[in-house]
Amino acid sequence: NAGVTQTPKFQVLKTGQSMTLQCAQDMNHEYMSWYRQDPGMGLRLIHYSVGAGITDQGEVPNGYNVSRSTTEDFPLRLLSAAPSQTSVYFCASSPTTRSPTDTQYFGPGTRLTVL
């Protein structure tokens, strides 16, 4: 299987534009999440989902929307891009949500630049 996949790998936006970052996993994982990683920093949680139809906010949710219509897909939407959203975005998934110790598997990332 492909694991966690993300598209696009790179994206440049102008301030005010909108776009959707795609994330998909083929491991039938219940839990999926989005993180952003800024230079010299760790990952910060944006949104997460514990199953289809269920989403919740993480540490830095402002400016982002998510939905989870299927188990496989968890897209992240930027409604009106701002330069502060320039970052590398990682999607992750884990098998279940019954235990916080489930290992999270990360995608390769999307590098977003907002001009």
Partner 1 sequence: GENVGLHLPTLSVQEGDNSIINCAYSNSASDYFIWYKQESGKGPQFIIDIRSNMDKRQGQRVTVLLNKTVKHLSLQIAATQPGDSAVYFCAENYTGRRALTFGSGTRLQVQP
Residues forming contacts to partner 1 in the complex (CB under 8 A) are 4, 31, 33, 35, 40-45, 48, 50, 56, 58-59, 90, 92, 97, 100-101, 103-109
Nearer to partner 1, 50 or 52 (CB): 50
Q: Closest distance between partner 1 and the C-beta of residue 36, in Å? A: 11
Q: Please provide the DSSP assignment of 75-100 as one string.
A: -EEESS--GGG-EEEEEEEES-SS-T
Q: Closest distance between partner 1 and the C-beta of residue 65, in Å? A: 18
Helix (H) or strand (E) holding 60: none
Q: Closest distance between partner 1 and the C-beta of residue 51, in Å? A: 11
Calpha distance 6→22 (Å, rounded) = 6
Q: Would you mind telling me the total number of residues written for the chain in this entry? A: 115
Burial of 86 (0-12, 13-18, 19+ CB in 10 A): middle
Nearer to partner 1, 43 or 114 (CB): 43
Nearer to partner 1, 77 or 111 (CB): 111
Q: Closest distance between partner 1 and the C-beta of residue 34, in Å? A: 11
